[in-house]
Amino acid sequence: MRSELSRALGCALGVSLVVVSQRAEAADGDACANLSDENNSIPAIYIENGDTQEPVVKKIGKLLMQSSTKLRVFYRNRPTCNIRSDLFSNAVMTTVVDGATPRPVRYIPSSATFDPSGPAPTCTVPAAGDPSAVPIALGIGATYLSSCAPTPAQPNDIGVFEGPVQAYGFITNKNSSQVAITAEEGYLAYGFTEGGGEAAPWTVQNLRFKRGNTASTTLTMSSAIRLLPTQMQAAADSGTSEGLITSVMNATTPEAALGILGTELFDQRRADIKLLAFKTFGQKFAYFPDSTNATFDKQNVRDGHYLPWSPTPYIAKVTPGTKTITDANAKRIYELVMGTRVGDDVDGLLQVVQSGLVPECAMKVTRSGDGADLSLYDDPAPCGCYFEKNVPQGSTTCKQCTVGNDGPCNGGKCRFGFCEAK
Amino acid sequence: MKKIHSCFIGCAIVILSAVIGVACDDSSSAVKEPSPDAGPGTGIDGGPIDSGGGGFDAGTLPDGAPKDCFDNPKTHFEIINACTNATRITKDPTLTKLLADGGLPPLD
């Protein structure tokens, strides 16, 4: 009986190991230029991106590896202003540690079973000064670059292009009873040291969490409460969004926990943390980014009821004096993200929508910089119907069409399979 | 036969564990609506309307009552207070640190 039991347990262990090894998919730690068990002759692109953009980078990266025109994505999560600095100074991909936070390079493996919701394997890049290092061809920030220090200046052969909109929010522990926060509360909570702001229950400085001062999350959220990043009084820099989530989850006093996070990362962790509705200055009510706290429609981001958001800037080399991205792979990825690429077997726009980002063509409001007032926006080729239909749990009342983009449809035009007004 | 039987039991343990894990994992995206009594000064749509907006004039309802949102927003103020079918949450905390006019106090 005992031997039968141990055989059963052994078999269970064996099955578990198979499952685990399938999840790992590829070994960590190879040189990026020489990956074991991978075809190293596949064209590659090196990207630096905000960690809020990692989900969409991985999703599109997987499709690119499965495409008939394969492209391997190597990427590194980095604060937005560091990305700006790297791209504006023609930096190459070398080993980087920001303060105490290492910034590993990851890659998309060729396996069709690679799960983009899990971690991508890491690989190593040369040390600073090594001439074999590869240029960073694309930067993907997650807030207005005007919020960063203005140095180095933008070279005339580097272009900055607005990508999809990224929303942010205040988060708290799942066991907190709080459901909303006003901008004034945010200012008083984060603007003063321990107990000073009197914005109950968020009065414990070590239970208020933020990212580094060059990270888009900090830049956009601080401007939403009229503070500078350096004025936010919080526990030590969480280093990464994932680190911040862990800190909020482990807060010893759940009610007092307060953090800041990109909403598409929140969308993946709704079971673990809570996003607070936000009421901006002069607003009558607080709102979630979505129409309810159970949906993923980003309705309040799109129509201007939810304020903490910014576009994601795509940064790449251009032909001087033009807006033409010179690196063909960077150009391909940007066009896929914007939904403007024709004849590609990768649906980049769908990945954007399903990652919790809002394409500009689905926005009804715009602004000029972090914290700036909103004004109405009327996209020349709207995609609101496509967006509503394709978000998680999405639906639309728009009429479907099959005549192709720009084709006539119900007095308007067919856009991404749905009749829009123009 | 015994080996096959044992392996079957082992596999069943793994599958059962996975099922239990999924069942116990509260990772459903169906987040519950916040409760109306979720905290002081907090209430779901339908609760008392904030009067702190100052100069809020969105017109009146047919019965003469003041409207609490704008039907045809154009300015920033009207956009953030436009009428919507989204969940609205009333939150009007008493913040003693604010200035008398509701403005933000200088930082220490």
**Which one of B26, B90, B105 has the shortest CB-CB distance to A285?**
B90
Cβ within 8 Å, pair B7-A187: no
Residue whose pair of structure tokens reads 């499709």 in the numeric block: A63
Query: pLDDT grade, residue A321 (50/70/90)?
Result: confident
* pLDDT at residue A7 tops 90: no
Query: If one looks up domain A164-309 in CATH, what number appears?
Result: 3.40.190.10
Give yes or no for residue B32 having a pLDDT over 90: no
Q: Does B80 touch chain A (CB under 8 A)?
A: yes
pLDDT averaged over every residue in chain A: 92
Chain B residues close to A285, C-beta within 8 Å: 45, 50, 88-91
Per CB-CB distance under 8 Å, the chain B contacts of A15 are 10-11, 14
The H or E element containing residue A141 is: none
Contacts of B87 in chain A (CB under 8 A): 277, 287-288, 291-293
Of A19, A185, A365, the CB nearest to B95: A185
The conformation of residue B32, written as its DSSP 8-state character, comes to: P
What is the helix (H) or strand (E) element at residue A177, kind and residue range?
none
The whole-number pLDDT of residue A324 equals 95
Residue A153 has pLDDT above 80, yes or no: yes
Q: Which is more confident, B41 or A302?
A: A302
pLDDT score recorded for residue A29: 83
Please give the ipTM for the structure prediction: 0.88
Mean pLDDT within A153-176: 97
Contacts of B39 in chain A (CB under 8 A): 177-179
In DSSP notation, A232-285 reads ---SS--SSHHHHHHHHHT-SSGGG-BEEEEHHHHHHTTTTEEEPEEE-TT-SS
How is residue A276 annotated by DSSP? P
Chain A touched by B36 (CB under 8 Å): no
Which of A185-194, A234-243, A295-304 shows the lowest per-residue confidence on average (mean pLDDT)? A234-243
Bigger pLDDT: A222 vs A410: A222
Asked if A293 reaches chain B (Cβ–Cβ under 8 Å), the answer is yes
| B27 vs A: CB within 8 A | yes
pLDDT band at B35 (very low <50, low <70, confident <90, very high): very low
Cβ-based contacts of A300 with chain B (< 8 Å): 84, 86
pLDDT at B85: 97
Find the mean pLDDT for residues A394-408: 92
Mutate which: A13, A280, A285, A305, vs B, most B CBs within 10 A: A285
Q: CA-nearest residue of chain A to B90?
A: A285
Whether residues A11 and B11 touch (CB distance < 8 A) is answered with yes
- The answer to whether the CB atoms of A284 and B97 lie below 8 A apart is no
- Token pair recorded at residue A187: 């200012």
Q: What is the pLDDT of residue A404?
A: 80
Q: For the segment A111-147, what is each residue's pLDDT rounded down to a tens digit?
A: 999 999 999 999 999 999 999 999 999 999 999 999 9
Per-residue pLDDT band for B55 (boundaries 50, 70, 90) equals low
Of A15, A267, A271, the CB nearest to B14: A15
Are B89 and A180 in contact by the 8 Å Cβ rule? The answer is yes
Residue B5 has pLDDT above 90, yes or no: no
Query: Mean of the pLDDT values across residues A32-47?
Result: 96
Taking contacts as CB-CB distances below 8 angstroms, the residues of chain B near A205 are none
Would you state the structure tokens that stand for residue A314, as one six-digit string? Answer: 């795509």
Closest partner residue to B82 (CB to CB) among A286, A304, A392 is A304
Q: How far apart are CA A29 and CA A122, in angstroms?
A: 6
Each domain of chain B, given as residue ranges in start order, spans 55-91
Chain position carrying tokens 């596949």: A42
Q: What percent of chain A has pLDDT over 70?
A: 94
What value does the mean pLDDT take over residues A210-229?
96
Question: Which distant-in-sequence residues (6+ apart) come within 8 Å of A197 by Cβ?
Answer: A187, A188, A189, A190, A191, A203, B97
Check pLDDT > 70 for residue A233: yes
Check if the beta carbon of residue A284 is closer than 8 Å to that of residue B70: no
Alpha helices in A1-121 (DSSP H): 2-24, 54-66, 80-88
Lowest-confidence pick of A19-23, A76-80, A350-354, B96-100: A19-23
Contact in structure between A214 and A298 (CB atoms under 8 Å): no
What's the token pair of residue A179?
């459901």
Q: Which of A60, A131, A54, A57 is nearest to A93 (CA)?
A: A131
Give the position of tokens 């685990």. A20
Q: At A25, is the pLDDT very low, low, confident or very high (cuts 50, 70, 90)?
A: very low
- pLDDT of res. A237: 82
Share of chain A above pLDDT 90, in %: 88
**Cβ-proximal residues to A420 (8 Å cutoff; 6+ apart), any chain:** A381, A382, A383, A384, A385, A398, A409, A412, A413, A414
A184 vs B: CB within 8 A: yes
* Residue intervals in chain A for CATH 3.40.190.10: 164-309
Cα–Cα dist A403/A416, whole Å: 10
pLDDT tens readout for residues A49-66: 999 999 999 999 999 999
Chain B contact for A369 (CB, 8 A cutoff): no
Asked whether A225 and A370 are in contact (CB, 8 A), the reply is no
pLDDT above 50: residue A421: yes
What is d(CA B42, CA B36) in angstroms, rounded to the nearest whole number? 7
Residue A417: pLDDT band (50, 70, 90) is very high
d(CA A253, CA A356): 30
Mean pLDDT across A366-379: 96
Instruction: Check if B90 contacts A (Cβ < 8 Å).
Output: yes
Interchain CB distance below 8 Å, A185 and B82? no
Chain B interface includes A278 (CB < 8 A): no
Residue of A nearest to B46 (CA): A285
Residue A69 distance to chain B (closest CA, Å):
35
**Residue A124, phi then psi, degrees to nearest 5:** -105, 145
Question: At residue A150, what is the residue type?
Answer: P
User: pLDDT value at position A189?
Assistant: 97
Closest alpha carbon within chain B to A280:
B80
